[in-house]
Structure 1
Amino acid sequence: MSKPTTRIWLIRHGETEWSKSGRHTGSTDIALTEQGRKQASALAPFLATQTFDVVLTSPMQRAIDTCELAGLGDQAVIEPQLHEWNYGIYEGLTTADIRAEAPDWSVWSSPVPEGENAAQIGARAQALIDRLLSGGASNIALFSHAHFLRTLAAVWTTGKPSLGAHLMLDTATVSVLGFEREVRAIVKWNIQQ
Structure 2
Amino acid sequence: MNIFVIRHGETEWSLSGQHTGTTDVSLTDNGRRQAERMRPVLAKQTFALVLVSPLQRARETCDLAGFGENAIVDPGLMEWNYGEYEGLTPQQIEAKSPGWLIFRDGCPGGEKPAQVGARVDQVVGRARAANGDVALFAHGHVLRVLAARWIGLPPRAGQHFLLNTGTLSVLAYYHEIPAVRIWNGHLAG
TM-score tier, shorter chain, comes to: over 0.9
2:38 aligns with 43
- SS, match of residue 65 in structure 1: helix
Could you tell me the percent identity over the aligned residues? 49
What TM-score do you get using the length of structure 2 for normalisation?
A: 0.96
CA distance in 2, matches of 1:158, 1:118: 15
* Letter aligned with residue 31 of structure 1: S
CA distance in 2, matches of 1:72, 1:78: 12
Alpha-carbon offset, residue 49 of structure 1: 1.1
1:25 aligns with 20
CA RMSD of aligned residues (A): 1.0
- SS, match of residue 59 in structure 1: coil
1:34 aligns with 29
Task: State yes or no: 1:144 paired with 2:128.
Answer: no
CA distance in 2, matches of 1:83, 1:186: 22
2:147 aligns with 153
* Letter aligned with residue 162 of structure 1: R
Alpha-carbon offset, residue 162 of structure 1: 1.4
* Letter aligned with residue 170 of structure 1: N
2:90 aligns with 95
Alpha-carbon offset, residue 117 of structure 1: 1.2
1:3 aligns with none
CA distance in 2, matches of 1:131, 1:57: 13
Matches within 5 A, 1:178-189: 178-189=172-183
Unmatched runs of 5 consecutive residues or more in structure 2:
none
Matches within 5 A, 1:56-71: 56-71=51-66
What TM-score do you get using the length of structure 1 for normalisation?
A: 0.94
2:70 aligns with 75
CA distance in 2, matches of 1:121, 1:111: 9
Unmatched runs of 5 consecutive residues or more in structure 1:
1-5
Does structure 1 conserve the Cα–Cα contact (< 8 Å) formed by 2:49 and 2:127? Answer: no
CA distance in 2, matches of 1:133, 1:97: 39
